[in-house]
Amino acid sequence: MSGERATEPGGAVIRVLLADDEHLIRGALAALLALEDDLRVVAEAASGPEALAMARAHRPDVAVLDLQMPGSDGVAVADALRVELPECATMIVTGHGRPGHLKRALAAGARGFLPKTVSARRLAEIIRTVRAGNRYIDPELAADAISAGDSPLTAREAELLELAADGAPIAEIAERAALAPGTVRNYLSSAVAKLNAENRHTAAHRARERGWL
């Protein structure tokens, strides 16, 4: 039954998946969206893996994904759904709208990118917009992304900087990345120089602030 498209007197109902690890926020959104005649929340999730499982089980029309969730973030989920369920439009909702996140979201096929400060009524409108095949990007987040520019880091530099962000020693980073310690040092030194930082920890912080990690 979950794969069927229910209808109401006004037309087809848009079936929605809500994914957010904050239960109160997710529950409040579900309750508010339930007030809209043409929207139906068919599944909820509190983590990236759970969001994927719920999407596979319920095949929603639109998936509203929190950017930062346990297991895998909303962008990774959107990227997976683009391949597995291309008919499901994805939206990223975030409380941390950093420029690099928007670019990653667009690259993953997300059709919406908006802050958590948006009203439930506006969220409902945007859900309809992306379901219709259009795109919605919050204007302020878009302006920030343009002004920030692209990340100067290579994929490998970003990967190793992410591993270094929690203070892990070179030997541990090298083991986790399956690289020689000297190679790791070279990559991290390059990342530090590109970000004009004092050390790898400061570099990781700056990269995260810009959404490049």
DSSP line for 114-132: EETTS-HHHHHHHHHHHHT
Q: Is the pLDDT of residue 97 over 70?
A: no
Q: Which residue has the tokens 């848009």?
A: 14
The answer to whether 51 and 18 have CB atoms below 8 angstroms apart is no
Between 183 and 148, the more confident residue is 183
Average pLDDT of the chain is 87
For residue 208, what pLDDT is reported?
A: 78
Out of 5-9, 39-43, 158-162, 199-203, least confident range: 5-9
Across 78-94, average pLDDT? 95
Q: Is the pLDDT of residue 94 over 60?
A: yes
Which among 137, 140, 139 has a CA at the least distance from the CA of 129? 137
Confidence of residue 3 (pLDDT cuts 50, 70, 90): very low
Confidence of residue 47 (pLDDT cuts 50, 70, 90): very high
Confidence of residue 1 (pLDDT cuts 50, 70, 90): very low
Per-residue pLDDT tens over the stretch 103-152: 888 889 999 999 888 898 999 999 999 999 999 998 887 877 666 667 78
Q: Strand locations in 126-196, DSSP E? A: 136-137
Across 35-56, average pLDDT? 96
How far apart (Å, rounded) are the C-alpha atoms in residues 18 and 86? 17
Out of 18-22, 63-67, 165-169, least confident range: 165-169
